[in-house]
Structure 1
């Protein structure tokens, strides 16, 4: 029984920038196997967060008169070894939006105790509030369900993954043509060719199950080959990762599927700049445009949106709007609503005054394997680099069990366990394909695997 492996180093000369690039690459590669391309938070073990001044709502909001903003911005704090992806999923946020709201924070190894901004407020897209509305720039879906007579109207919103470059999600109006639970995926020929060229051939049909890129439910639209569906790779939600489809977290697609009837209208827009009226007065929400424009064009667009919001709500004239501040926020692309009235607080002061969100558990479960075969991914001088690789493995789709193990002043990363050498070898190939990391299949006694 082989209980040792030649110590090969994986972090020599690799700084944080390398692993940030690897993070982006692994999420993109993880998404390529589908039409679009689960660490857990344990609030019971933590000191309770201060109660916010009003009830906390996650993703379903009552539509109020004379306002364009739903939700409220809040913050939370990194617990133990959470990643930003854990927090994003707990609060129904996407990858891009939580990174934009927290610039400079490593998504995989944020420091324990770090305050994290939660972009849990949204300016509604400037469209009729009916059916499903998707704003590609915000990577977000809004569903306006029919309200019973006399009942208040509501909106439900979720983050989505959208089409990547070369596979753009179409704009315009369509409808939900049909629905399918536990869908099989008939792989388009173009996608089969793409995967074959990468050494990752796909079958003509992928049956329902945990590796099906369509997830558990799918809504087929009136556009050919375009669906709103779940995903086997939740880490890609909130990014440009798909082949044109729109993908949701597994916990979001199931209730949406049940709620949305066939025939529901679907409107897809690209609105990177949104201006509306909320509790803080006029606010601007800015996202990175799918198609960047010159600064002068951006300023013209933002000014026009401000004027339209003023006219729509009959508020004070433009003299009460700080256009310089608005353009600064449009450039910054923080991805959440910020007040732009004259005398609005500085952004740091505004963020500091936000209430804490209640601690929520992430739907992601730490993967557990069985057996005595592992993939040895080497030893790292840096514990942070070992932690980062473990987090990436756990957030693959389907997730890969992994752990770091202190050993002789270094940190060994093991993926697994697996029940057989064949299964471990398959994991070696998958990790190489998805993450570019080289490993070897080894068999370990339980005491060795556990560090005994």
Structure 2
């Protein structure tokens, strides 16, 4: 037996599929809501659920010092205390493109509360209106900064919370000011860092 699908049959079938839940609900209007079967939409994938699980053991031989892994793919910063008894996850902003992304092993070499900001020569070449900024609400480094052994690469806060969860930085890893303040207290100079 051959089933032949005409255009009219296809449109009718599609319309029935679209309106079936509403028609089903309309047919139950005399039944109290508490007794009706729930119509549950399918789950949607959200940005916060896109964090991938990272295992420190895949990248370090031991946790003899505080450890950070910044995952630029899922835009998350993973923290482990010495010995791994405390694990935390922070949402971040990451570099805008691959050219700005430096990957590999480094460490925190300096920390600053109320950092000033100086744009790099390449940033000024792209936007001549940029200029050095003192600490304050317009400063792109937010309230706290932890400088890595690579020049001009920093884990820092941001006043512009729209950047978190996006490719929006010029090479740094950024997070909410309240989160960087927490990390600042947890991460001593010498904290081992991996940027993936």
TM-score (normalised: structure 2): 0.68
Shift of 1:168: 2.6
Is 1:134 matched up with 2:134? no
Counterpart in 2 of 1:257? 184
Q: 1:163–1:241: 8 Å Cα contact kept in structure 2?
A: yes
Q: 2:50–2:74: 8 Å Cα contact kept in structure 1?
A: no
Task: Tell me which of 124, 149, 152 is aligned to 1:225.
Answer: 152
Shift of 1:258: 1.1
Task: Tell me which of 45, 62, 65 is aligned to 1:101.
Answer: 45
Task: Tell me which of 196, 202, 205 is aligned to 2:130.
Answer: 202
In 2: Cα distance, 1:118 partner to 1:245 partner: 20
> What secondary structure sits across from 1:134 in the alignment?
strand
In 2: Cα distance, 1:162 partner to 1:118 partner: 15
Q: 1:167–1:242: 8 Å Cα contact kept in structure 2?
A: no
Shift of 1:193: 2.2
Where does structure 1 differ by over 4 angstroms across 4 or more consecutive aligned residues?
Answer: none
In 1: Cα distance, 2:113 partner to 2:192 partner: 20
Is 1:157 matched up with 2:85? no
In 2: Cα distance, 1:134 partner to 1:256 partner: 13
Structure showing greater radius of gyration is 2
In 2: Cα distance, 1:263 partner to 1:153 partner: 19
> What secondary structure sits across from 2:109 in the alignment?
strand
Change (3 A) 1:118 1:225: closer
- Equivalent residue runs for 1:292-441 within 5 Å: none
Shift of 1:124: 2.1
Q: 1:134–1:267: 8 Å Cα contact kept in structure 2?
A: yes
Query: For this pair of structures, how many residues does the alignment match?
Result: 147
In 2: Cα distance, 1:183 partner to 1:231 partner: 11
1:218-248 per-position Cα deviation (integer Å, ceiling 9, x unaligned): 0000011100000121111111111110000
Counterpart in 2 of 1:123? 53
Shift of 1:192: 1.6
Change (3 A) 1:118 1:141: closer
RMSD over aligned CA atoms reads: 2.1
Q: 2:141–2:156: 8 Å Cα contact kept in structure 1?
A: yes
In 1: Cα distance, 2:170 partner to 2:48 partner: 28
Is 1:175 matched up with 2:129? no
Q: Identify unmatched segments of 5+ residues in structure 1.
A: 1-99, 103-116, 270-452
Q: 1:159–1:238: 8 Å Cα contact kept in structure 2?
A: yes
In 1: Cα distance, 2:177 partner to 2:170 partner: 18
TM-score (normalised: structure 1): 0.31
Q: Identify unmatched segments of 5+ residues in structure 2.
A: 1-43
Q: 2:51–2:74: 8 Å Cα contact kept in structure 1?
A: no
Q: 1:167–1:243: 8 Å Cα contact kept in structure 2?
A: no
